[in-house]
Amino acid sequence: GKGGYDHYMLKEIHGQPTALSNTIEGRIDDGDVALDALSPGTFEDVETVQFVACGTSYHAAMYGAQLLRAADVRTDVLRASEYDSMAGPVDEDTLVVAVTQSGETADTLDALRTGADRGARTLAVTNVVGSTAAREADDAVYIRAGPEVGVAATKTYSSQAVTLALLTQRIAGDVPDATPHGDRAAMLETLADLPQQVETVLETTDAEALAEEFLDSQSYFFIGNGLGHSVALEGALKFKEITYEHAEGFASGQLKHGPLALVTEASPVIAVSTGSDDDKTRTNAIEAQSRGAPIVAVGPDDHPLVDVADAHLSVPETHPVWAGLLANVQLQLLSYHAAKLLDRPIDKPRNLAKSVTVE
- What positions carry a catalytic annotation? 354
CB of 54 to ligand M6R, least distance (A): 4
Which residue has the CB atom at the shortest distance from ligand M6R? 55
Q: Name the residue nearer to ligand M6R (CB basis): 9 or 315.
A: 9
Handedness of CA 159, 161, 165, 167 (dihedral sign): positive
Binding residue for ligand M6R (CB under 6 A) from 66, 75, 94, 100? Answer: 100
Interstrand relation of 32-33 and 74-79 (parallel, antiparallel or unpaired): unpaired
> Which residue type is seen at 192?
A
d(CA 87, CA 96): 10
List phi, psi (to 5°) of 14: -75, -15
Among left, alpha and beta (phi > 0; psi -120 to 50; other), residue 318 is beta
DSSP state letter for 35: B
Could you say whether residue 151 binds ligand M6R (CB under 6 A)? yes
- Which class for 110: exposed (0-12), middle (13-18), buried (19 or more C-beta within 10 A)? middle
Could you say whether residue 152 binds ligand M6R (CB under 6 A)? yes
Q: Which stretch binds ligand M6R (CB under 6 A): 146-154, 204-212, 313-321, 327-335?
A: 146-154
Q: Name the residue nearer to ligand M6R (CB basis): 22 or 289.
A: 22
> Which of the residues 52 through 71 are near ligand M6R (CB under 6 A)?
54-57
Each residue 264-303 as x (binds ligand M6R by CB under 6 A) or -, in order, gives ----------------------------------------
CB of 291 to ligand M6R, least distance (A): 30
Each residue 298-337 as x (binds ligand M6R by CB under 6 A) or -, in order, gives ----------------------------------------
Q: Name the residue nearer to ligand M6R (CB basis): 153 or 333.
A: 153
Binding residue for ligand M6R (CB under 6 A) from 76, 241, 245, 278? Answer: 241
Could you say whether residue 134 binds ligand M6R (CB under 6 A)? no
Q: Name the residue nearer to ligand M6R (CB basis): 71 or 211.
A: 211
Question: What is the total count of residues that contact ligand M6R (CB under 6 A)?
Answer: 15
The number of residues making up the chain comes to 359
Nearest to 71 by CA among 49, 93, 86: 49
Could you say whether residue 102 binds ligand M6R (CB under 6 A)? yes
CB of 96 to ligand M6R, least distance (A): 14
Q: Where are the alpha helices (DSSP H) in 15-129?
A: 16-24, 55-70, 83-86, 106-117
Q: Which stretch binds ligand M6R (CB under 6 A): 1-9, 49-57, 181-189, 316-324?
A: 49-57
Q: Which stretch binds ligand M6R (CB under 6 A): 149-157, 253-261, 280-288, 307-315?
A: 149-157
Binding residue for ligand M6R (CB under 6 A) from 108, 158, 159, 225? Answer: 108
Nearest to 50 by CA among 89, 13, 1, 11: 89
d(CA 201, CA 359): 37
Angle at 117 between CA 75 and CA 48, to 5 degrees: 15
Could you say whether residue 163 binds ligand M6R (CB under 6 A)? no
Query: Is-contact 100 57, C-beta < 8 A?
Result: yes
End-to-end CA distance of the chain, in Å? 31
CB of 147 to ligand M6R, least distance (A): 13
Distance (Å) of CA 262 to CA 221, 281, 291, 302: 10, 18, 10, 30
- Residues in contact with ligand M6R by CB under 6 A are 54-57, 100-102, 105, 108, 151-153, 241, 355-356
